Structure 1
Amino acid sequence: MARRRKPAAAAADLVSRIERGEPGAIARALSLVTDESEGYEALLGPLFRRSGRSHKIGFCGAPGSGKSSLINRLVTCFRKAGDTVGILAVDPTSPFTGGAFLGDRLRIQEHSLDEGVFMRSLASRGMVGGLNAAIFPALHVLEAAGFDRILVETVGTGQDEVDIVEVVDTVVCVTAPYQGDEFQAMKAGTTEIADLFVVNKADLQEVDRALGAIRDALSLGPEVRAGWQVRVVPAAAATGQGVAEAAAIIDEHRASLKATGEGERRRRRQLRKELSLLVASLIARNTLERIGERHIDALLAGTTDPLTLGRALLTEEI
């Protein structure tokens, strides 16, 4: 019988393969850290120590605004510039297979055989706030693999639209000139977090209205935030119109992050968010393991209430 390797040794071997860019190792590590499978904790430290080098770009926007189509075009731009690209898409329906993004992968099919591009869906199950709590370990896997750019696509609804700012370096909000998307973007608070607005499907007649609405909303806030003026760009991902300009602005924002020190501030914000999610997860796991039938009996008997009992469990008073 073959001797089973210790978790630390197995993790070191897997991380070494990830650093060599082996797709199978990257996929294996992503499965381990997002499912919290046996041995995943041994990976977290080595992966974290290899993080912080990639440019992480988040894409938010309502479903149907064309985020995936825009990402497809941007990947082409980045690859032409010689950058490798990792893609994480938060899938609202299934763990890694099925769901909206799997269908959208048909639009990114041209990159499927490109060794410089890696795509993976991240299930929205087990969320804390608006984004999956496993988003940070998943990002660290791709960072350890050495991808120059990591693109994160949100589900496109709810809290994840705002939470993305605590995860990535650059936030791109994608809207479309119909169904009030531009107003939905403002309502969701993305005017406070977006570094770039891309009004997709710019070949539609209503594009000028959408551009004007977003610019008007931005004019209500500070003109420059942390040395950066938020840009608004019309584009048509279907034809490629405006995509090169969007890519150039993303590069410009990356340079601004380094020049102004804003990049370090955002890195600190990301670390704070990652740590808070991890601590919350550890506390929840430890507390849930201690809930017994006697606690449920006490609730049924009315001798306590959920809040009092919950606080007691957290302070280990019972």
Structure 2
Amino acid sequence: MTVQENQAEELLHRFRQGDVRALARALTLVESGHPVGQELLKRLRGQARAKVVGITGSPGAGKSTLTDRLILEARKRGERVGVLAVDPSSPFTGGAILGDRIRMMRHHQDPGVYIRSLASRGALGGLAGATVAALALLEAFGFDRIFVETVGVGQSEVDIARVADTTLLVLTPAAGDAVQAFKAGVMEIADLFAVNKFDLPGGERIIQELKSALELAPPRPGGWHPPIYPTVAATGEGVEALFEGLEAHYQHLVAHGLLEAHRLERARFEVESVIQEWGRKRTQGAGDLVARVARGELSPEEAALALLDPKTHP
């Protein structure tokens, strides 16, 4: 048995014993792409099923505060909760810019809650494939519900719909918030809407705008009609009803046999993310090919084929 296999065996044993430090170590190995982490994933993937809720929305909508309140609701019902807060990555250092866990610090002594920040790694403004791998580890560790809070910019809204069982879009009465959601095409992927900071002026107006837009939206699988919940996360107002809505959507997926399709789409997204990251790294070391594209000597397609198969290098 190799050193890596020994390390994987030891970590796997501790992981299955419920050692939180082993979970943290496994997440670090997976996020960094370490072979031991990949070996753990193969052994642990698909062993459990958690209710995965994606939470997205524009910056400043109160996603972290709302997530904090939803954690409390889940704990009241005896659920073990995992949270992945996907932070934006600096395009220069690759490090995470924000630390949304700060807003959830009240849970740090609760053994039934585990919160982890992940960097988006510049995945075109969206989720990194490591997020899906981390999800698989949290599921295998036995969490009943996992919240994935996204950066809320760029591609992340569309990505989260491919990863989560239920997608919650958080909007505010701020001017133009609903209009931006319509432009971005997020209306088609959200399963539920929360109009947060509903105590601010304009709350009723944005609900009416959402209702009007949803009347024109295409039908959802199984005939689901996305509900809209007014919330004030700072005080907890409306959060219990929102949590019940999340549960109702999950039960809808179960009743209509839609969960398996969600899991397959999640795996497809993960494979695509690995290919995308691989291509990005290979392109960084292909200065000659890139220069030839810039000079018009090669098409981007020819350069990409050369990276995929060096034998085809023109």
- TM-score when scaled to structure 1? 0.88
Is 2:22 the counterpart of 1:28? Answer: no
Map 1:69-108 onto structure 2 (within 5 A): 69-93=65-89, 99-100=97-98, 102=99, 104-108=100-104
Q: Deviations over 1:32-55 (max 9, x none)?
A: 11112353322221132435x111
Distance 1:106 1:129 in 2: 22
Q: Deviations over 1:80-101 (max 9, x none)?
A: 100011000111146998632x
Distance 1:303 1:97 in 2: 36
Percent identical among aligned pairs is: 41
Q: Deviations over 1:26-82 (max 9, x none)?
A: 11111111112353322221132435x111100010000000010000000000100
Q: Deviations over 1:240-297 (max 9, x none)?
A: 1110000001111111110001212212211222223234445666x5698586x578
In structure 2, which of residues 283, 304, 312 is the aligned counterpart of residue 310 of structure 1?
304
Map 1:83-162 onto structure 2 (within 5 A): 83-93=79-89, 99-100=97-98, 102=99, 104-127=100-123, 130-162=126-158
In structure 1, which of residues 217, 229, 251 is the aligned counterpart of residue 247 of structure 2?
251
**3-state DSSP of counterpart to 1:59:** strand
Deviates more, 1:218-227 or 1:65-74: 218-227
**3-state DSSP of counterpart to 2:36:** coil
Tell me the C-alpha RMSD between the 2 structures. 2.7
User: What is the one-letter code of the residue matched to 1:9?
Assistant: N
Distance 2:230 2:94 in 1: 32
Q: Deviations over 1:153-184 (max 9, x none)?
A: 11011111111111110000001111321222
Is 2:218 the counterpart of 1:235? Answer: no
Residue number in structure 2 paired with 1:17: 14
Map 1:39-50 onto structure 2 (within 5 A): 39-50=36-47
Deviates more, 1:300-309 or 1:204-213: 300-309
Residue number in structure 2 paired with 1:179: 175
Distance 1:202 1:299, change over 3 A: closer
**3-state DSSP of counterpart to 2:187:** helix
User: What is the one-letter code of the residue matched to 1:28?
Assistant: R
- Which blocks of at least 5 consecutive residues in structure 2 are unaligned? none
Map 1:277-296 onto structure 2 (within 5 A): 277-281=273-277, 291=286
Query: What is the Cα deviation at residue 108 of structure 1?
Result: 1.5
Residue number in structure 1 paired with 2:50: 54
**3-state DSSP of counterpart to 1:241:** coil
Distance 1:190 1:304 in 2: 37
**3-state DSSP of counterpart to 2:58:** coil
Distance 2:195 2:75 in 1: 23
Distance 1:173 1:302 in 2: 43
Is 2:209 the counterpart of 1:213? Answer: yes
**3-state DSSP of counterpart to 1:171:** strand
Conservation of the 8 A alpha-carbon contact between 1:175 and 1:198: yes
User: What is the one-letter code of the residue matched to 2:141?
Assistant: A
Residue number in structure 1 paired with 2:256: 260
- Which blocks of at least 5 consecutive residues in structure 1 are unaligned? none
Conservation of the 8 A alpha-carbon contact between 2:126 and 2:151: no
Deviates more, 1:239-248 or 1:36-45: 36-45
